[in-house]
A and B are shown apart, each in its own frame.
Chain A
Amino acid sequence: MNDQKLKTKARSSSGMIRAESIFKRSLIGVGVAMILLVVGLMITLIIESVPSMKNLGFKYLWSKTWDPVNNVYGALPFLIGTLLTSFLALIISIPFSFAIAVYLGEYNPKGWLSNFLKNTVELIAAVPSVIYGFWGLLVLVPLVRSLEMKVGVLPYGIGIFTASLILAIMIIPYAASLGREMIRLVPSPLKEGAYSLGATRYEVIKNVVLPYTKSGLFAGILLSLGRALGETMAVTMVIGNTSMIPDSIFGPGNTMASVIANEFTEADHTLYLSALIELGLVLFVVTVIINMIGKRIIKRFTNE
């Protein structure tokens, strides 16, 4: 009887040990799987863009014509379109995200008003991009069109400028939330010292908070730039989708992400498809580099 008990006990603990080693192995397996997933992403992109790299070479990136019908591919219009929309959006968004970060980090860190603003900013980040695009298409585009008529440029309505406006709204939360975290890390003795010397609030922000947080704020801007570069749907819906180099910021254009979204399922031969994938590869590499730099800066900043 006792023997029987011991036997079952031994069996159950050997089962435990087996379960433990299975668990440990599956943890490591999942870790390896994550690495393989990312490496696999990259390798797939590279392999599938080989035909375009071979046939078009490096000049693909700076030739100006994109004409799939005649099998002529040049990515320059999309590179320019992407850079224009992203940087324009960044410029529009910086005053807002900076103001939100300073307000929540310095002026009013607690209370219902700052809670309200915090939640609003968070919800802005949560709204799906296709909804921004839809709203932009049917509400913002007519507004921009009437603005363009007043200014006296061709009233397309759609185009680089409208896309940047929408993008700006979408990326504000990223820089704002990070900026707030950074501003809260400023040691209060530093600020108190400045106040006790008679500095006004503005002078404290300008001479203490900003110099202390500038690398962190820069990282926030980098991360929102990464977002802007890869944003697809909202931009696709309002940018106008013409594969030419935009002649002004009010003209229609195309970004790398939007041309992929529009033409990927229509690409009927290998070179066309592979040219699109190479755009995806460029997008992947650029956003990964920007994100890595941003995260590196934040890590260094928060460890100091």
Chain B
Amino acid sequence: MNAKVKYRVGKSKFVQGLIFFFAFLITIPLILIIIYIFREGITKINWAFLTQIPKPVGEAGGGIVNALIGSILIVLTASVIAIPVGILCGIYLSENKTGRLAYWARLSVDVLQGVPSIVIGIVVYFWVVKPIGTFSALSGSVALAIMMLPILIRSTEETLKMIPFSLKEAGLALGLPYHKVILKVIVPCGISGILSGIMLSIARIAGETAPLLFTAFGNPYLNTNLARPMQSLPLMIFNYATSPYDEWHDMAWGAALILLFTVLLLNIITKLTTRRWNVQL
């Protein structure tokens, strides 16, 4: 082997090493974050932490039950609003590949996907909070529902596009009306893709904070009334983490652990049910 070839092979090996190094370096921050949050958070979690509302600063104890229940309620309400609309819109887009309305609707979904979450928070403030006159959990749910829509629509559309056309033809040939073909044949065939879209979108909004700042607003007490301000886990972590009190930091670590593991678990379950790699853009 002459020197020139050796140099080229060496260079190739060097670049390969560099690429491997940089590629795997990215695992370090994730592992560090998970370990750190686990270590700080696990000692704070106990029965009282999960079942009590926060105590005022200076008093020991207290829990995050208001944030837990608030998060669940807000995310559930958002899902109830977004899932039917998202699936219907996905069906519409997969059924209408051409056409002016479909073009503009598809473009709108693309635009919506790129809108920063804080901007959605501002707009929902003017759409829901201002007319009602108070911050409310419902407005937070509306904001989160708007964020869920693009993910739901995209995954439904992509899934239904892959269903063979012959299935639809067979249904129509048997004399089934259009809506039954879609709802009883096409959608059940793609149900796993649609479900994974639902789970991904829930995982995505469960940790959203920015759109809740001016909508759900937060609440130090337990509240289950959707028309009133409500606490949620991400909001609570934000407020407590930026506070100067150590005991509040401790509570935020506990809450962060619960939130992080819920979100990661949702993602992993989705991954196990569908084996395709797709970071939602």
Contacts and interface: CB of A to CB of B under 8 A. Distances in A.
Contact of B126 (A48, A107, A205): A48
Contacts of A139: 32, 36
Contact of B115 (A107, A116, A200, A284): A284
Interface stretch (A1-9, A61-69, A149-157, A171-179): A171-179
Nearest to A276: B122
Contacts, number: 266
A134 B256 contact: yes
Interface in A139-178: 139, 169, 172-174, 176-178
A217 interface: no
Interface in B96-112: 96, 101-102, 104-105, 108-112
B144 to A, nearest CB: 13
B116 A37 contact: no
A28 interface: yes
Contact of B279 (A27, A96, A122, A132): A122
B119 A128 contact: no
B207 A128 contact: yes
Q: Is chain A's interface secondary structure helix, strand, loop, or mixed overall?
A: helix
Contacts of A48: 122, 126
Contacts of B11: 200, 202
Contacts of B119: 41, 45, 230, 280, 283-284
A37 B108 contact: yes
B9 A200 contact: yes
Interface in B131-162: 146, 149, 153
A39 to B, nearest CB: 8
Contacts of A197: none
Interface in B56-92: 85, 88-89, 91-92
A24 B8 contact: no
Interface string A23-43: 110111011111101111100
A191 interface: no
Which of A37, A233, A284, A292 has its CB near the most chain B CB atoms (within 10 A)?
A: A233
A288 B115 contact: yes
Best-surrounded residue of B26, B33, B203 (most CB of chain A within 10 A): B26
B118 A124 contact: no
Contact of A127 (B180, B209, B260): B260
A91 interface: no
B91 A27 contact: yes
Interface string A103-120: 110010000000011111
Given A32-B101, A96-B25, A128 B16 contact: no
Contacts of B115: 41, 230, 284, 287-288
Nearest to B280: A125
Contacts of A126: 203-204, 263-264, 267
Residues of B in contact with A, size category: 35 or more
A283 to B, nearest CB: 6
A129 B16 CA distance: 32
A119 to B, nearest CB: 7
A261 interface: yes
B37 interface: yes
Nearest to A290: B114
A130 interface: yes
Nearest to A121: B26
Given A128-B260, A131-B37, A200-B11, A177 B278 contact: yes
B271 A284 contact: no
A190 interface: no
A33 B146 CA distance: 12
B264 A178 contact: no
Given A32-B101, A280-B118, A283-B119, A134 B252 contact: yes
Contacts of A30: 85, 88-89, 92
Contacts of A116: 27
A19 interface: yes
Contacts of B213: 261, 264-265
A271 B29 CA distance: 42
B114 A291 contact: yes
B122 A280 contact: yes
Interface of A: 16-17, 19-20, 22-24, 26-28, 30-35, 37-41, 44-45, 48, 95-96, 98-100, 102-104, 107, 116-135, 137-139, 169, 172-174, 176-178, 200-203, 205, 223, 226, 229-233, 237, 257, 260-261, 264-265, 276-277, 280, 283-284, 287-288, 290-292, 295
The 3 closest A-B pairs by CB, nearest first: A128-B207, A230-B116, A291-B114
